[in-house]
Amino acid sequence: MTAAGESSASTVSAPAPGHHAPALRKVLSPMHIWALGVGIVLVGEFMGWNFSVEKGGMYGALVAAWFVGLLYTCIVMINSEITSAIPAAGGQYAQAKHTVGPLMAFNVGLYLTLAYTMLEAANANVLSYLLSQLSSLTGSSEELSPYAFATLAIMALAWLNYRGVFAALSLNFVITGFAFITIIVLFFGVSGWNAGISLHLDGLIGSLDNGLPYGWIGVIAAFQFGMWFYLGIEGTAQAAEECRSASRSVPIGSMAGIMTLIIAAGLTWYVCAGLLPWHYLGVSITPLFDAARVSGSGVLVVLLLLGTLFATIASANGCINDASRAWFSMSRDRYLPAWFSAVHPRYHTPFRSVVFLVPIAIAFALLPVLLDQPTLLATVITFSILSGLLTYSFMGPNFIRFRKLWPMGTITRGYVLPLHPAPAIALLLLSGIVFFATFLGYGTALLSLLAFYLLASIWFVQRRYKYVKRGAQFTADLPRPRGY
């Protein structure tokens, strides 16, 4: 490990003649990109988004879903253009490396790794909870151990990711597709097109107090949980290097993904608003499953339970994929020891990065149970959300710089962001609003996280930067930017 990565970067040399560096396998299509993006996110429709109802009421949650949906649409469009030009594993990390510099890239890489690892841990924790619920629903009085099943979930999905990206994301396509279909089935099952039959939306009509119990400040507060509808869709960029044609697959898969999520968010809000009282919905752990139970249909209950389970598994699976790619990318640029940048000779996966992150994810998944502190799970999730938010806040300025470095017509782009710079500015503004909303609810966590990343940056500059090969940072197949 040290031999590969700890030597100073003072000398730069050429590869040995005839040597072919092992590479990730290019096997993915738009279908897999969709599965990766939607797979990570869709669990947010099954649980998590509804806390925005507690903060801002039913209309507050809906407004949050729309505005945060706009934020993520900007992210997806920006990602699509940059990734089609810089199709590298690491996604936003590689973008930051090319447009800003090593310190920003290190921070973004760390945000990405921690955001996905924390989300994976939270998913494993929730999965064990769901299995316990399942056993109690079958009439069992005995409790399944959350330790055993959270660990098994992480181990099994890590094994799958270790063995190959194609199988891992093909599985994600199947289970994510199933989970999405269950939301549509629920809509039809409760005759969603005819609100008078089983949905009760009358309470939302009339006085604004019915849907906005805390006024517009409640709407702002709801933004942080509105992120659950879409959090993680930006992860599609992580798979760019493994696409058969990144300039085609990433824009198509990502755009299809955000459209799927906006449809799912709308259906989820509508069905839950019509079936569950807002006071209950705001604190429910599994709102869609609860909506199915209220419907009284046994088939819908089973389907939505399976949908919730599959969405959780798909999210954890996608998170393992993305966290390992971010870690791997930082390693091959020497931001971390090069040992982690090894590619498996048979499976063509970043196998050491996959394995290294397993114990970290297990530790964060089991900690809330071991310490008997259920609120720790919320902290883990908040850590993930804030890390994601930090990534988004850099993407707007980064994109403006990207367009300055490589103006239109100077490079080939698989997708061109329309109305530039409006989406980049909108992204920056919306990120600021969500930051404010998060500060309202988790001010201490936000400040702690910023302090953590500041310390990590100091460590990087003091201890790690000397190993970074500045001459090898520019890896994209792009012409020298203007002004360089």
Judged by phi (left if over 0) then psi (alpha if -120 to 50, else beta), residue 97 lies in: alpha
- Identify whether 22 is preceded by a cis peptide bond (ω within 30 of 0): no
Query: How many chain residues interact with other proteins (CB under 8 A)?
Result: 59
Smallest distance, other proteins to C-beta of residue 338, A = 5
Cβ contacts of residue 309 below 8 Å, gap of 6+?
127, 130, 131, 134
User: Which parts of 440-479 interact with other proteins (CB under 8 A)?
Assistant: 469-475
Site for other proteins contains 15 (CB under 8 A): yes
Radius of gyration of the chain (CA): 22
Closest to 91 in 3D by CA, of 439, 484, 476, 444: 476
- Least spacing, CB of residue 196 vs other proteins, in Å: 44
**Cα(484)–Cα(481) distance, rounded to whole angstroms?**
6
404-411 long-range contacts (CB < 8 A, ≥24 apart) are 404/482, 405/99, 405/481, 405/482, 405/483, 406/85, 406/478, 406/479, 406/481, 406/482, 407/482, 410/479, 410/482, 411/85, 411/478, 411/479
Give the tokens for residue 216: 């517009």
If the CB atoms of residues 156 and 370 are measured against other proteins, the closer one turns out to be 156
| Under 8 Å between Cβ of 256 and 28 | no
Query: What's the min distance (Å) between Cβ of 261 and other proteins?
Result: 31
Per the CB < 8 A criterion, the answer to whether 397 and 428 are in contact is yes
Please report how close the Cβ of residue 370 comes to other proteins at its closest, in angstroms: 15
Return the residue of 25, 200, 248, 344 that touches other proteins, per CB under 8 A: 344
Does residue 375 touch other proteins according to CB under 8 A? no
Run of H or E residues at 288:
helix 287-295
Q: Measured from the CB of residue 50, what is the shortest distance to other proteins in angstroms?
A: 29
Q: Which stretch binds other proteins (CB under 8 A): 248-256, 290-298, 307-315, 324-332?
A: 324-332
CB 378: neighbour CB atoms within 10 A? 15
Region near other proteins per CB under 8 A, out of 37-45, 197-205, 244-252, 326-334: 326-334
Sign of CA dihedral 103, 107, 113, 116: negative
Q: Where does residue 200 rank: exposed (0-12), middle (13-18), buried (19+ CB within 10 A)?
A: middle
Shortest CA distance to 228 belongs to which of 424, 373, 72?
Answer: 72
16 belongs to the binding site for other proteins (CB under 8 A): yes
Which CB, 13 or 462, lies closer to other proteins?
A: 13
Q: How far does Cα 183 stand from its chain's mean position?
A: 20
Identify the sign of the CA torsion 258, 475, 166, 366.
negative
DSSP 394-443: HHHHHHHHHHHHS-TTSS--SS--TTTTHHHHHHHHHHHHHHHHHHHHHH
Cβ 405 to other proteins shortest distance, Å: 11
Type of residue numbered 60: G
Is the alpha carbon torsion for 348, 125, 446, 48 positive or negative?
positive
Q: Which of 332, 387, 415, 438 binds other proteins (CB under 8 A)?
A: 332
Question: What minimum distance in Å lies between the beta carbon of 376 and other proteins?
Answer: 22
What's the rounded Cα separation, in Å, for the pair 236 and 216? 33
Q: Which residue number, 153 or 281, has a Cβ lying nearer to other proteins?
A: 153
Q: How far is the CB of 141 from other proteins (least distance, A)?
A: 9
Which one of the spans 20-28, 39-47, 260-268, 297-305 is the region binding other proteins (CB under 8 A)? 20-28
Nearer to other proteins, 32 or 325 (CB): 325
Site string for other proteins, 284-323 (x = CB under 8 A): ----------------------------------------
Pattern 351-370, other proteins, x by CB under 8 A: xx--x--x------------
From 181-189, 193-201, 342-350, 394-402, give the range in contact with other proteins by CB under 8 A.
342-350
Residue with Cβ nearer other proteins (5 or 213): 5
Instruction: By CB under 8 A, tell whether 13 contacts other proteins.
Output: yes
Residues numbered 135 to 194 that lie near other proteins (CB under 8 A) are: 135, 140, 142-145, 148-149, 151-152, 155-156, 158-159, 162
Using CB under 8 A, which of 79, 123, 341, 391 touches other proteins? 341
Site string for other proteins, 47-66 (x = CB under 8 A): --------------------
Rounded Cα distance between 331 and 325, Å, is 10
Which residues ranging from 82 to 101 are in contact with other proteins (CB under 8 A)? Answer: 101
Give 14 or 419: the residue with its C-beta nearer to other proteins. Answer: 14
Contacting residues toward other proteins, per CB under 8 A: 3-7, 11-17, 19, 21-24, 101, 135, 140, 142-145, 148-149, 151-152, 155-156, 158-159, 162, 328, 331-334, 338-339, 341-345, 350-352, 355, 358, 469-475, 480, 484
